[in-house]
Amino acid sequence: MSSTTVIDDKFSFKSTLSDFKQLAKVGLSLSVVFSSIAGYLLAVDIINYQVLFLLGLGGFLMVAASNAFNQVIEKDTDALMKRTMNRPLPTGRMSKSTALTFAIIATIIGIGILYSINPKSALFGAISIFLYTCAYTPLKSVSPLAVFVGALPGAIPFMLGWVAATNQFGIEAGFLFMIQFFWQFPHFWAIGWLQFEEYKKAGFIMLPMNKKDQSATKQILFYTAIMILVSVAPVLKMTGAFYIHPITAIIVALLGASMLYYGVLLHKKQTNIEARKLMLSSVLYITAIQVIYVIDKFLH
């Protein structure tokens, strides 16, 4: 075998691997795994590393499958948007059947792994893939309700960790679900604001009234306020085994206030600069509060 062939093989392996990473949206999938692990750590006193590994792997495959199904369905619209036109499917680097095969295998293995933890985890994993693929994705071009529907599977990971640890869906898991559910509205509407022109090209309706105006920013502020209230509510000790210290509630409230601040700026100035700041502060918020909750729990 010539050295050129070896280099070509290496290059094609590297580019194929890169395409599958894009198909699975590895970065996003890992952030979801992070949420699930945080939810698990909140629920346990003694960490079972085998369950933690299975949860991470099953959760990763679940999100990778959802992303792959989404890209199969949106191959043509992805080709219209700058942000997505270089993905493996619209460029023709990967066939639809390859992507679909990957999505189906990831679904089966992912749900199987979650089932080995407990059946409830597998059920929520399956619901998440179904809602993301069969409800959220087709709704994006039909109604602004798509963001609401998409927030349902998007809120499952944090809660999934608790369910994996306890095999229970009670008030604690419900609260973890609500925190991540309400967080998604300011987060996705900030992205919807930034990508408004691009989404319009593809026919996606990602802002509340499909307009960049104060009616959209009012909704952003409303949902951010609810998110902050739900995030600090565990301090009242009415949320079962999931509760936080007053000092933790203050830190969480301050983090939420920074998001609210950028929401207010966006409401006043109506520019992409503020929308980007809001989007970045929302990513910081959800990551930070999950870490803070876990630290708080181990300081009880």
pLDDT digits (tens, 9 = 90+) for 184-241: 999 999 999 999 999 999 999 999 988 999 999 999 999 999 999 999 999 999 999 9
Contact residues for 98 (Cβ-Cβ < 8 A; gap 6+): none
Amino acid at position 82, single letter: K
Q: Which residues contact 298 (CB under 8 A, 6 or more apart)?
A: none
What confidence category does residue 9 fall into, taking pLDDT thresholds of 50, 70 and 90?
A: low
What per-residue confidence (pLDDT) applies to 6?
Answer: 52
261 vs 263: CA distance, rounded Å: 5
Q: How far apart are CA 179 and CA 250, in angstroms?
A: 16
Model pLDDT, residue 24: 95
CA 298 and chain centroid, separation: 25
Range scoring the smallest mean pLDDT among 7-16, 39-48, 165-174, 256-265: 7-16
Contact at 8 Å (CB) between 166 and 43? Answer: yes
Q: Which residues contact 203 (CB under 8 A, 6 or more apart)?
A: 77, 141
**Tens digits of residue pLDDT in 269-281:** 999 999 999 999 9
DSSP string across 125-160:
HHHHHHHIIIIIHHHTTT-THHHHHHHHHHTHHHHH
Amino acid at site 13? F
Residue 134 pLDDT exceeds 90:
yes
Share of the chain above pLDDT 90, in %: 92
**Whether pLDDT at 38 is above 60:** yes
DSSP, collapsed to helix, strand or coil, labels residue 45 as coil
- For residues 8 and 148, give the distance between their C-alpha atoms in angstroms, rounded to a whole number: 46
CA dist 89 and 78 (Å) reads 8
Say whether pLDDT at 168 is over 60.
Answer: yes
Q: What integer is the mean pLDDT of 64-75?
A: 97
- pLDDT recorded at residue 11: 65
| pLDDT value of position 10 | 64
pLDDT mean over 76-105: 95
pLDDT at position 209, please? 87
What is the pTM for the complete model shown?
Answer: 0.93
Confidence band of 13 (pLDDT split at 50, 70, 90): confident
**Taking 70 as the threshold, does the pLDDT of residue 1 lie above it?**
no
pLDDT of residue 7: 57
Strands (E), the chain: none
Q: How far, rounded to the nearest angstrom, does the alpha carbon of residue 24 sit from its chain's CA centroid?
A: 13
